[in-house]
Amino acid sequence: MPKFPKPKAPGLIGGLGVTFKTMLKGAVTVQYPHEREDPPTRARGVIALKEENCTVCMLCARQCPDWCIYIEGHKEKRPPRREGGRERTVSLLDRFDIDYALCMYCGICVEVCPFDALFWSPEYEYSESNIADLLHDKEKLGEWMETVPEPEPLEVGAEGKK
């Protein structure tokens, strides 16, 4: 059984000094509803959809670890680009939902999209009181596009994007 160590004042007094100094130094609290801290540019807050780039390739829905992206699309015919050419078919989105109740914010969908239709935005204040409202549909995802920041410059020594 350990014995109580001989009282040496320095350790005990030093501790008191630390708390006293901290008390005088002021708090680090950011009083949230009245003040906000801005997250960095790359912060993974919400995913935004640029609908015109999407070709309904379904890669994002397939690669999502949670399968939280729901996509439905249809094909339409478009007139040929040149005279005498073949008719083109384009895929158009009917439904593109991301269920943020399931989303793990991993970013695989954004990374894997070959057509740059998905973007990260640092916006994080979209809590709802009803869990079904966390399913953001195509229009809402398009609205998040306004909050997507410009990509920042990279650090010294980095090569650019390949």
Partner 1 sequence: MIELAVNVGWGTILAIKTIVVLAIIPLGAIILGYVFLLKMMAHMQSRLGPMDPGGFHGWFQLIGDGIKFIQKEDVMPAKSDRRIFAIAPAVVVISTFLVFLVLPTGPDLVVSDLDVGVFYALAVSSLSVVGVLMAGWASANKFALLGALRAAAQLIAYELPLLLAVVGVVVMAGTMSLQGIVEQQQNGAIFGWDGIGNPFVFAQIIGCVLFLVAAQAELTQTPFDMPVAESELVAGYMVEYTGFRFLFFFIGEFGTAFAFAGLAATLFLGGWAIPHVTDPGWSNVLGPIVLLTKVMLVAFLMFWVRFTYPRLREDQLQAVAWKFLIPIGLANILITGALKVAF
Partner 2 sequence: MSVDFAVDRQAWRHLADAQVNVELDTGDMILNLGPQHPATHGTLRLVVRLDGERVVSADPVIGYMHRGYEKLTEFRTYPQVTTLINRIDWLSSFANEVPFMHGAELLMGIEAPPRAQYIRNILTELSRIATFLLFLGEMGLQVGALTPPFYGFRDREHVLNLIEAATGGRFHPNFNRIGGLKDDLPWGWVNECRNTMKVVFDACNTLEELVAENEIFQGRTRSIGIIPQEVGAGYGVSGSNLRASGVDWDLRRDGKPYLVYPDLDFKVWTHPDGDSYSRYWVRLQETREAARMVVQMLDRIPSGPIMAKVPRIIKVPEGEVWVETENPLGQMAYYVISKGATGPFRVKIRSASFSNVSILPWLLRGVYVPDVITILGSLYFILGDIDR
Residues 142, 48 contacting (CB under 8 angstroms): yes
Burial of 136 (0-12, 13-18, 19+ CB in 10 A): buried
Q: Please, what is the minimum distance in Å from the beta carbon of residue 21 to partner 1? A: 9
Q: Residues near 32 by Cβ (< 8 Å), separated by ≥ 6?
A: none
Q: Which does 20 bind (CB under 5 to 8 A by kind): partner 1, partner 2, none?
A: partner 1
Member of 8, 9, 12, 162 binding partner 1 (CB under 8 A): 12
66 sits in the region (left: phi over 0; alpha: psi -120 to 50; else beta) called: alpha
For residues 94 and 105, which CB has a smaller minimum distance to partner 2 in the complex?
A: 105
Q: Which does 90 bind (CB under 5 to 8 A by kind): partner 1, partner 2, none?
A: none
Q: By the criterion CB under 8 A, which residues form the site for partner 1?
A: 1, 3-4, 7, 12, 15-16, 18-20, 22-23, 25-29, 31
